[in-house]
Amino acid sequence: MVSALSMPGGARAVARCDVLREAPYSDIEGGLYRGYLTPAYAAAQEALTGWMEEAGMKVRRDAAANLIGRYEASRPDAPALMIASHLDSVRDGGAYDGPLGIMLGIECVAALNTKGRRFPFAIEVYAFGDEEGSRFPAAMLTSRAVAGTLERGALDIADGDGVTLAEAGVDLGAYLTARRARGEIFAYLEAHIEQGPVLEANGLAVGTVTGIAAQLRYAITLKGLAGHAGTSAMPLRRDPLPGAAQMVLAAEELAAADMSDAVATVGRIEALPGAPNVIPGEVRFTLDVRAGDVRRRNRVAEAILTRCQAIAAARALDLDVACIHDLPPSPCDEGLMELLDAAHESAGQRVFRLVSGAGHDAMNMGALCPTAMLFLRCRGGISHNPAEHVEPADAQVALAVMLGFLDRLGERHHAR
């Protein structure tokens, strides 16, 4: 374990993430994968419990298996600021996506506790369990449960090995009691690596997030006519795979042509029946379109789908488009963003705002309370990859900004 006294808080936060990248905190050999409710997840929670207690927090685990450390307020029965991120990881992922935000929350409390400082609000550091959804076929179950937006039916799921959520170690009857009441949590702060190149391109360690982009995801099926690869003349073919290839290129072209923050991605494609000597009869692929504004997102999505329809018609292919994911944008609170901006300035950082193209637990917590997010630079914008890297100096800057944010939030509460 990393000594709590051996290094600055930002560097310690990074070092602790590095500790959690290896056994027993990973479920695979030679890489990092920490699934929700796995042995590695339990081991990581045990390590976090020690670090939270060392920082001066009382620690508990809720009905959704989130780990929570609470640092009490200067007055009894005060509401809490939640500082949170997620403990799980994608398969063969990076060490900082999620855990770094938890570690920085712990470091904020440790810095306050060392000086004997308390605010008129409590601080609760949450380690959410499954933001990535990399074990069960649903994502963000735990933050949705806390925010009160999770339906009971969503819990009737099993992982790839057939292990149900209940068999994995949670009480489904009690799961939704993880919900926090309005007023208990008055604001939410999440620090997270950017998972993109914007901060690095601007030479900045940190930035204020304006919100999480609106997302649309489609399942697209293109049907033609399967046939023998050697005997079907080219002019007579109804091959859906070249048509799908045109559609993929169209998605790239039209998103780029919008000259905005809109992005389009085809992340999965499958040709059936999948034999080397058979012309595919069917191709399935996904289309993901995102932008900070619903109108921009919809404009690009509609342009891509219109082009897909034209390609299908020209090639005599049958096109089916099913919308499987439609998430509105999740804006951060303007007042909290202003406090973060002021904290940037006091830490000697240029104020910079950017939108998050990736989803985060903050998007669920917006249903419970105002939210704010702080992004940290990650080298090359690389994430969900073992090459994910954060400089300890950047984490130290983030810690300074977060502490400055807490000071200003405390002043605002004192003024009420």
pLDDT in tens, 248-302: 999 999 999 999 989 999 999 999 999 999 999 999 999 999 998 899 999 999 9
pLDDT band at 327 (very low <50, low <70, confident <90, very high): confident
- Amino acid identity at 226: A
Cβ neighbours for 256, distance < 8 A, ≥ 6 positions apart: none
Q: DSSP assignment, residue 316?
A: T
The percentage of the chain sitting over the pLDDT mark of 90, rounded to a whole number, equals 91
Tell me the pTM.
0.87
Residue 300 has phi, psi (to 5 degrees) of -70, -45
The answer to whether residue 416 scores a pLDDT higher than 70 is no
Task: Pull the structure tokens for residue 374.
Answer: 């702080």
Q: Average model confidence (pLDDT) for the chain?
A: 95
Give me the mean pLDDT over the 177-189 stretch.
Answer: 97
- Amino acid identity at 334: E
Residue 338 has phi, psi (to 5 degrees) of -65, -40
The answer to whether residue 219 scores a pLDDT higher than 90 is yes
Task: Report the C-alpha gap between 309 and 68 in whole angstroms.
Answer: 49
- Amino acid identity at 373: M
Domains of the chain: 9-213+329-414 (3.40.630.10), 214-327 (3.30.70.360)
Task: Pull the structure tokens for residue 121.
Answer: 């609000």
Task: Report the C-alpha gap between 362 and 373 in whole angstroms.
Answer: 8
The answer to whether residue 229 scores a pLDDT higher than 70 is yes
Q: DSSP assignment, residue 267?
A: -
Name the residue among 94, 97, 99, 73 with its Cα closest to residue 84: 99
pLDDT given at position 246: 98
- Amino acid identity at 122: A
Q: DSSP assignment, residue 158?
A: B
Burial of 78 (0-12, 13-18, 19+ CB in 10 A): middle
The answer to whether residue 155 scores a pLDDT higher than 90 is yes
